[in-house]
Amino acid sequence: MLRRIRTVLAALVFLSITLLFLDFTGTLHLWLSWLAKIQFWPAVMALNVVVIAVLIVLTLVFGRIYCSVICPLGIMQDLLARLHRKQNKYGFSKEVRWLRYSMLVLFVVATIAGIGSVMQLLAPYSSYGRIATMILQPLWMLINNVLGILAERSDSYAF
């Protein structure tokens, strides 16, 4: 039951954040801008202590809830892994601790030094934003334009 709830929440968050990135009218920002504020790295950059504390507590209580339900890049990775699960058999590999902790130190030092914009290139939320904007938005606008042409022929200007 919990897995089904997590999957439904992940689908809703993923669809909402994707639509937030694809919205070229600016109307969805009125309703969905809070999704951008609960992302970890933007919350760190904005010094939003409440969001950071809630995300840390949720992670300590529920495990990787942020990566699998709130972060759009993590949801996309889970989705792609699920689609290719039959082809690829995943196994556990030994963790690379020196890489994990060196990246953590790099993030913390860059944030303290005030060069967070460099780290923003590696942040999962902004990475997914670039994916959605560069790959999906042209397709989204093409579909909108085709629907607009079809609607214009029937004297409707909804698009």
The answer on pLDDT for 87 being more than 70 is no
Q: Is residue 126 part of a domain?
A: no
Q: Is residue 50 part of a domain?
A: yes
Q: Strand, coil or helix: what is 95?
A: coil
What count of other Cβ atoms lies within 10 Å of the Cβ of residue 14?
Answer: 21
- Decide if 110 contacts 118 (C-beta within 8 A): yes
The per-residue pLDDT for range 38-68, each reduced to its tens digit, is: 888 888 878 889 999 999 999 899 888 888 8
In this prediction the pTM is: 0.74
Q: Which domain holds residue 21?
A: 2-90
Q: Into how many domains does the chain fold?
A: 1
